[in-house]
Amino acid sequence: MAILQKLIDDTVYPLNLSQLGIGRAADNEIVIIDDAVSSYHALITVRESPSDTKVMDYILEDLDSTNSTYVNSKAIKQHKLKNGDIVRVGETRLKFLTKGHAAPPQEDFQQTRKLSKNKLASFVNKKGE
């Protein structure tokens, strides 16, 4: 089994169905909250490889989205994903990882958090007290 891993927060999406929709709409298997993502942005189809029935192919298809779907910085209509490919929908980047290459998600305490200037100033002031 393969996964998509969101690069900003290490959210892991297992690719364990024959088709997985990607988009903003709640009925997608992979819901991306990003204003630049269409409601039904892209589709991943999982199928046996024609050359080896023990291997699965993961085909990413753009669903005529407003802002296109990109793999490794190139706009695609349809693309067979390979380990390490970087998929971009809207402003969201996801890394495609196959079995054996998938990195486990980081524990919450290890994740890098983005702080606003106000929260950062508040944190620094509390540390100085």
Q: What is the pLDDT of residues 44-103, one digit of tens each?
A: 999 999 988 888 999 999 999 999 999 999 999 999 999 999 999 999 999 999 976 545
Residue 125 has pLDDT above 60, yes or no: yes
Those residues with Cβ within 8 angstroms of residue 108's Cβ, 6 or more apart along the chain or in another chain: none
Q: What is the mean pLDDT of the chain?
A: 86
| pLDDT given for residue 129 in this prediction | 52
| pLDDT given for residue 117 in this prediction | 61
Q: Rounded to two decimals, what is the model's pTM?
A: 0.77
| pLDDT given for residue 101 in this prediction | 55
Residue 84 to residue 101: CA distance in whole angstroms: 9
Those residues with Cβ within 8 angstroms of residue 55's Cβ, 6 or more apart along the chain or in another chain: 48, 49
Sign of the torsion angle spanned by Cα atoms 97, 101, 104, 106: negative
